[in-house]
Structure 1
């Protein structure tokens, strides 16, 4: 079977959605799986999901990108640092899911979260990161690393761009020219009333709002074919998810 490069959107503890989407995509050990971050904060399976990912990387070729929620949770695990807003936006559900883990199991999860990548650039010059970057010279020149998992200006910029703008134009954003394609999550597509992956310029947003009322998406970066789970809230019918 031909190997594929598959990119997976924000998970937010929705292990059931991930398992369903992977089954629908017929994921095999030949595929490269690129996860765009935000593994925790939302549904009740955060601890189980991270455990699943740790196991998955022993059988599959995986790339795990860091999301802003992953950083917030790691801060809590290592420093017991948190704020009330984080607890309201899924943090409490994550804390609750970790109550059954032993100290040794939590240490393994801390190592996994500590090793998450800020971004990944493949051999086809396709960039994968959670949120965005601001430096016009590209990610290697980005001075503020938190932009990789907090920035929203990249997606806001391409949404506002004139569709007729060409690469040759002096107005074409320089930061986009460095990469063949850019894949992000972070900003839910439900904000623009979309439930499927969306492309603007050379940027693809894969966050189809599994943390809220949307499905989880897996996309083949070569063919642009995609597979989705049922809306995650239906798989966790007795939960609220993120507010």
Structure 2
């Protein structure tokens, strides 16, 4: 059993918030830290976010999940797909952060390796983690990727998973800055890039940390 089981919601290029959040949480080698995907796009420093997460791996047990924004980016960079959809949803900011000069080989090898290491879900004790959602009647190892990466809770909340475990997800932005807690599911994407907060939660103690894009720490932190 880890000392703490910590999840971090959608970061979206908010490096300042991420660095301050890490400083507040102060994860150790005894903690498991699960990042729920969407590291890139929309915010100002996607490259810096990846650098920060690579560095974080040296001091804690970091489990990284892949989000739909990583999927969009890699389909362009690696598979040669049209960039229009990605650029429409934040890809321009990502390219700017990498100093894009027209070539698609802008990712450093360390970043390529980081993206290669990302999984679609993580299961630990009484919890499982995905970027977006899940099919309640399908075992995690057989979940369709589009459900794990793309499904929005605006289209309806999934029922409790057949495993009986609590789901921890992001992707659907809670624009009021508050964690969504419906018992069998927590959504901790609290809209950092859009003026909300970057959220971390320790699933054991239910302690919450929240930091704004400019580095402000939220003074009143609810317990969920």
What is the TM-score normalised by the length of structure 2? 0.85
**4+ residue runs over 3 A deviation:** 100-105
Match of 2:96 in 1: 96
Q: CA deviation at 1:153?
A: 5.0
1:133 aligns with 2:134: yes
Q: CA deviation at 1:113?
A: 0.9
Secondary structure at the aligned position of 1:189 is classed as coil
The answer on whether the counterparts of 1:36 and 1:67 sit within 8 Å (CA) in structure 2 is yes
Higher Rg: 1
Q: CA deviation at 1:21?
A: 1.4
What is the TM-score normalised by the length of structure 1? 0.79
1:185 aligns with 2:185: no
How many residues align structurally?
212
CA shift digits 1:169-211 (9 cap, x unpaired): xxxx4x5241321100000011xxx312121131000000012
1:68 aligns with 2:50: no
- Rounded to whole Å, the distance in 2 between the matches of 1:155 and 1:204 is 16
The answer on whether the counterparts of 1:3 and 1:31 sit within 8 Å (CA) in structure 2 is yes
Match of 2:146 in 1: 146
Match of 1:200 in 2: 182
The answer on whether the counterparts of 1:4 and 1:30 sit within 8 Å (CA) in structure 2 is yes
- Which 5+ residue runs of structure 2 have no aligned equivalent? 216-224
Secondary structure at the aligned position of 2:156 is classed as helix
- Rounded to whole Å, the distance in 1 between the matches of 2:42 and 2:148 is 21
Please say which of residues 146-155 and 55-64 is displaced more in the overlay: 146-155
The answer on whether the counterparts of 1:209 and 1:215 sit within 8 Å (CA) in structure 2 is yes
